[in-house]
Structure 1
Amino acid sequence: MHGPLSGARADRMVARLARNRPATVLDIGCGWGEMTLRVLEAVPGCTGTGLDIDDEDLERGRRNASSRGLGDRMEFVRESAEHTGRGPADLVLCLGASQALTSVEPPRHTAPALAVLRKLVSPGGRVLLGEGFWQRAPTAAELSGMWPGASASDHLPLAGLVDAAAGAGFRVEWIETANEDEWEEFESGYLADAEEWLASHGGRPSAAGVRERVEGHRSAWLHYRGVLGPAYLTLIPAG
């Protein structure tokens, strides 16, 4: 998975979403579209469209879809999600990509992004939203070690995120959050290949940039570990 989401949790999510028998899936910021491909495998005849601007991820998604016999049911499109004319779809996935739906800069993007998602989902459909939230208020020292310019206003607490979804016209069917094991598997997996390379090639001049990127990422993770969490909300448009 292209985020802190275990295969077991993804399977449970897909099983719940498949019960609604979606005919169409729209995946915002799809990456290589793993969640959509799992939904298509679970719901015969369902078709999906994934939007992203990363050519490498999109090509990986196309290869995966073809190898799983889903190439004719899944379209990967290099396209910005902002002002998209696609939809409505029976199932809209937006996993860590809500910022792609609006020009409003984080952290104020959450409410307008939810308003867009409300328009993209069919009546009776579902939105699966993956969004970061503060598990507790970060300290100044923790913020200083995160991303550049990190602020306590960058994310909502979980209750605030749920309230924002309700304010956008959704009922919140399901709330779940990734656990530390999922975070650690994702973050360590992201860094592992680079660490293996550095262990053997760390003396090369080209290693300096790789080392800086890896150490910066790890430092940020260890500062937001236990503070920032990913929430997965299953949302139903209210009538």
Structure 2
Amino acid sequence: MDRQTRSLLAHADHPIAAPLDDDSVGRLLTRAVVRDDARVLDLGCGSAAWLIRALGQRPGVTAAGVDVSAEALERARRAAEEAGVDGRLTLHRGEAAAFEAPHPFEAVLSVGATHAFGGLLPTLDAALRHLAPGGTVLVGDAYWEREPSRWARETLGEYEDLAGTVEKVTAEGWTPVYAHLSTRHELDDYEWNWTGSLSRWALDHPEHPDSAEALRAAARHRDEWLHGYRESFGFVCMALRRTTDT
């Protein structure tokens, strides 16, 4: 089973591919998408759950999403049609880091997709290329709430603590205008949904050739979470503006 398919199955009951509940998503979008006629771009949109939510909140907004997964984009198209916002959503298949936009956007989103760019700062560099003057970037990434184990650091990455993460961003000319730290409930709920959705699919499809592999992947992820990084892993979403627009 390829990574994209596994991710889609794991997010079946948690379409926001990040540890955020519905209220947090709505609040973050309100801070990031401030104009009724805003153009919104999501770099690494997956099934476009953020964009569909933004389009539903503001009927004058238009949006574009970029992702490498054809299956995720097809799900996005179906979800947009069901929500009645498909006429205001454009989807592009390709690498988010290589996307060339036809115009700037008042809001650029990239939550839980910094791996596609090589880290947080390269993600912000990519977002800046598409950002209209005075616009807002909404970015979500991991940080260490407390000192991680050697295994967690080597496996998940060389993240900073929260203060270091904010300092790294501000040193590059960004100013946080809002932020949300995922709560313990949001973090745990996301992991239980990820492992549970994938496990349920495997148990419901015992004859599928990928069933056993999916069940093993869910069990491995659950063990790594509980024994490897649950106590140290945090997630922050920041609404950022340029200190000086360029």
Encode CA deviations 1:102-149: one digit per residue, 9 max, x unaligned. xxx4xxx33232222223211111110000111111123xx2xx59x4
Q: 2:183 aligns with which of 179, 185, 193?
A: 179
Question: Contact conserved, 2:40 with 2:106, CA < 8 A, in 1?
Answer: yes
Q: 1:226 aligns with which of 212, 219, 231?
A: 231
Amino acid at match of 2:230: R
1:138-153 superposed matches below 5 A: 138-140=148-150, 143=151, 146=152, 149-150=154-155
* Alignment-derived partner of residue 236 in structure 1: 241
Question: Contact conserved, 1:22 with 1:125, CA < 8 A, in 2?
Answer: no
2:32 is equivalent to residue 27 of structure 1: no
* Alignment-derived partner of residue 168 in structure 2: 164
2:113 is equivalent to residue 97 of structure 1: yes
1:42-191 superposed matches below 5 A: 42-86=57-101, 87-101=103-117, 105=118, 109-140=119-150, 143=151, 146=152, 149-150=154-155, 154-191=158-195
Q: Give the distance between the partners of 2:24 and 2:105, measured in 1 at CA.
A: 23
The structure-2 alpha-carbon separation of the partners of 1:44 and 1:218, relative to structure 1 and needing over 3 Å to count, comes to same
Consecutive unaligned residues of structure 2, counting only runs of 5 or more, are 1-15
Greater Cα shift, 58-67 or 186-195: 186-195
Q: Please give the root-mean-square deviation of Cα atoms over the aligned residues, in Å.
A: 2.4
The structure-2 alpha-carbon separation of the partners of 1:113 and 1:210, relative to structure 1 and needing over 3 Å to count, comes to closer
Question: Contact conserved, 1:191 with 1:214, CA < 8 A, in 2?
Answer: yes
Amino acid at match of 1:164: K
* Alignment-derived partner of residue 3 in structure 2: none
Q: Compute the TM-score of the two structures, normalised by the length of structure 2.
A: 0.83
* Alignment-derived partner of residue 17 in structure 1: 32
Amino acid at match of 1:218: R
Please report how far the alpha carbon of residue 98 of structure 1 lies from its aligned counterpart in structure 2 after TM superposition: 2.0
The structure-2 alpha-carbon separation of the partners of 1:77 and 1:200, relative to structure 1 and needing over 3 Å to count, comes to closer
Identity %: 29
Please report how far the alpha carbon of residue 22 of structure 1 lies from its aligned counterpart in structure 2 after TM superposition: 5.1
Q: 1:214 aligns with which of 209, 218, 239?
A: 218
Question: Contact conserved, 2:33 with 2:106, CA < 8 A, in 1?
Answer: no
* Alignment-derived partner of residue 5 in structure 2: none
Consecutive unaligned residues of structure 1, counting only runs of 5 or more, are none
Please report how far the alpha carbon of residue 52 of structure 1 lies from its aligned counterpart in structure 2 after TM superposition: 0.3
Encode CA deviations 1:165-222: one digit per residue, 9 max, x unaligned. 2122211111211111112221111222343356677799965423321111111211
* Alignment-derived partner of residue 21 in structure 2: 6
Please report how far the alpha carbon of residue 37 of structure 1 lies from its aligned counterpart in structure 2 after TM superposition: 1.4
Point out which structure has higher relative CO (alpha carbons under 8 A, 6+ apart): 2
The structure-2 alpha-carbon separation of the partners of 1:199 and 1:53, relative to structure 1 and needing over 3 Å to count, comes to closer
Greater Cα shift, 194-203 or 113-122: 194-203
Question: Contact conserved, 2:17 with 2:112, CA < 8 A, in 1?
Answer: no
Q: Give the distance between the partners of 1:14 and 1:4, measured in 2 at CA.
A: 15
Question: Contact conserved, 2:97 with 2:126, CA < 8 A, in 1?
Answer: no
